[in-house]
């Protein structure tokens, strides 16, 4: 797929206007704090309406204005399509091909992009919640109904946790826990099943990319860590039974802590380089390469799923990589539409080739 045009109205610091990108490489350049990342973020919003920076809806609206609108014309699913997102206060309205939608989730089926930004290093460095978000957003793109599944699971989890806190004061409520357990295991096993199958695909691709980036010296593995010992190959029923047994085992601990300790909400995945956990042992460069491999794999899995290449958004990524890694990356994504932000237009080939957008105080020229 590719973006034909992108239009802004009262969007962050960008001056109202429209850009018409190339189908290949687009270079967004300019000094710090001029609006480059804001353009990348606007493109990313068409994937489902959430910022990769974790911003709230009203932060997109230009200071002092009441609403903000971004509009994209893009080619996907073999036709030209149009999407518009309007932010007013804390509300968001999505219009796709002229039809108003109830939820921004409907964008997920239409528009696909993969973003690489310096913040993605948190995937290796930080705690498990960033990794769970990464994997859950991926399975939601695979099947929209996974989003419903995850949301129902979280509701059930909250109810079970509330009951656990009550049991502490009213032990007689203990017998009612079973009602929630059944639902929790039913929904939870489906989520774990989807995650295991996604990680299995992702891991194979990421291993291949990382091997290439590291000059065939490093083996990258991604291993899903399930706290009920579910493994790839287990079917949903097997995972259901494992989850139920583990939940039963942790009942005492759960009542003691007033919290559900077992389930996909506590799972994680390990990123392993040459048999060692990347989080603990990998150098900065190795961590960066691992994330790059993971993101390229994400793009590849998405291409297989949708039958078309997602748009690639590279925010401040190239300057952080050495020349060999930059060349590797650019070669891998040569068939994609790419948006690159950079402060310097140094002499590399791809910078010469790409269509240029100069950004200064929000003005794009």
Contacting residues toward ligand ATP, per CB under 6 A = 12-13, 30, 32-38, 59, 61-63, 316, 343
Residue number with CB closer to ligand ATP (89 or 127):
89
Residues 6+ apart with CB under 8 A from 229: 242, 246
How many amino acids of this chain bind Mg ion (CB under 5 A)? 2
- Residue 35 binds what, of ligand ATP, Mg ion, none (CB under 5 to 8 Å, by partner type)? ligand ATP
| Dihedral over alpha carbons 349, 350, 352, 354 (to 10 degrees) | 160
Q: Which stretch binds Mg ion (CB under 5 A): 36-44, 233-241, 295-303, 357-365?
A: 36-44
Residue number with CB closer to Mg ion (237 or 360):
360
d(CA 86, CA 92) in angstroms, rounded, equals 6
Please report how close the Cβ of residue 38 comes to ligand ATP at its closest, in angstroms. 4
Please report how close the Cβ of residue 41 comes to ligand ATP at its closest, in angstroms. 7
Rg (CA), the chain: 22
Is there a contact between 105 and 36 (Cβ–Cβ < 8 Å)? Answer: no
Rounded to the nearest angstrom, the gap between the alpha carbon of residue 273 and the centroid of all alpha carbons in its chain is 22
338-342 and 25-29 beta bridge pairing: parallel
Q: Which stretch binds Mg ion (CB under 5 A): 35-43, 184-192, 246-254, 271-279?
A: 35-43
- Residue 38 binds what, of ligand ATP, Mg ion, none (CB under 5 to 8 Å, by partner type)? ligand ATP
d(CA 344, CA 330) in angstroms, rounded, equals 17
| Phi, psi for 339 (deg, rounded to 5) | -120, 125
The DSSP element (H or E) to which 141 belongs, if any, is helix 128-142
Closest CA to 189 of 151, 228, 147: 228
Q: Give me the sheet containing 91-96, strands edge to edge.
A: 17-19, 2-9, 67-76, 79-88, 91-96, 99-101
Does residue 37 touch Mg ion according to CB under 5 A? yes
Please report how close the Cβ of residue 108 comes to ligand ATP at its closest, in angstroms. 24
Give the up-direction half-sphere exposure of residue 64: CA atoms within 13 A in the CB hemisphere: 1
Q: Which residue is nearest to Mg ion (CB)?
A: 37
Is there a contact between 337 and 23 (Cβ–Cβ < 8 Å)? Answer: yes
Does residue 38 touch Mg ion according to CB under 5 A? no
- Residue 61 binds what, of Mg ion, ligand ATP, none (CB under 5 to 8 Å, by partner type)? ligand ATP
Residue number with CB closer to ligand ATP (322 or 344):
344
Please report how close the Cβ of residue 270 comes to ligand ATP at its closest, in angstroms. 31
Residue number with CB closer to Mg ion (36 or 244):
36
d(CA 295, CA 319) in angstroms, rounded, equals 17
Does residue 300 touch Mg ion according to CB under 5 A? no
Residue number with CB closer to ligand ATP (117 or 226):
117
Please report how close the Cβ of residue 94 comes to ligand ATP at its closest, in angstroms. 19
Q: Can you give the binding site for Mg ion, defined by CB under 5 A?
A: 36-37
């Amino acid at each position: 797929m590719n973006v034909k045009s992108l239009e802004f109205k009262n969007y962050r610091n960008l001056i109202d206007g429209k850009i018409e990108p190339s189908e290949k490489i687009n270079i967004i350049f300019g000094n710090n704090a001029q609006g480059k990342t804001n353009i990348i973020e606007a493109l990313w919003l068409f994937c489902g309406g959430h910022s990769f920076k974790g911003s709230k809806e009203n932060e997109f609206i230009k200071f002092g204005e009441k609403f903000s609108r971004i509009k994209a014309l893009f080619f996907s699913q073999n036709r030209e399509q149009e999407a518009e997102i309007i932010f007013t206060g804390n509300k968001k309205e999505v219009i796709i091909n002229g039809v108003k939608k109830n939820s921004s989730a409907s964008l997920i089926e239409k528009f696909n992009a993969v973003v690489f930004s310096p913040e993605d290093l948190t995937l290796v460095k930080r705690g498990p919640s960033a990794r769970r978000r990464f994997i859950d957003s991926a399975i939601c793109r695979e099947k929209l109904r996974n989003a419903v599944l995850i949301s129902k699971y979280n509701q059930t989890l909250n109810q079970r946790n509330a009951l656990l806190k009550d049991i502490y004061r009213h032990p007689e409520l203990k017998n009612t826990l079973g009602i929630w357990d059944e639902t929790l295991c039913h929904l939870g096993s489906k989520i774990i099943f989807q995650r295991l199958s996604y990680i299995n695909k992702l891991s194979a691709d990421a291993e291949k990319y990382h091997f290439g980036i590291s000059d065939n010296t490093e083996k990258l593995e991604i291993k899903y860590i399930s706290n009920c010992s579910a493994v790839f190959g287990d079917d949903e029923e097997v995972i259901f039974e494992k989850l139920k047994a583990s939940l039963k085992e942790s009942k005492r601990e759960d009542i003691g802590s007033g919290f559900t300790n077992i389930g996909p909400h506590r799972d994680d995945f390990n990123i392993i380089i040459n048999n060692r956990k990347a989080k603990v042992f990998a150098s900065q460069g190795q961590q960066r390469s691992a994330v790059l491999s993971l993101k390229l794999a994400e793009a590849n899995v998405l291409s297989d799923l949708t039958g078309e290449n997602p748009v690639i958004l590279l925010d401040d990524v190239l300057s952080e990589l050495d020349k060999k890694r930059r060349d590797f990356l650019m070669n891998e994504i040569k068939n994609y539409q790419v948006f690159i932000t950079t402060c310097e237009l140094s002499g590399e080939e791809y910078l010469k080739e790409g269509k240029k957008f100069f950004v200064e105080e929000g003005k794009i020229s």
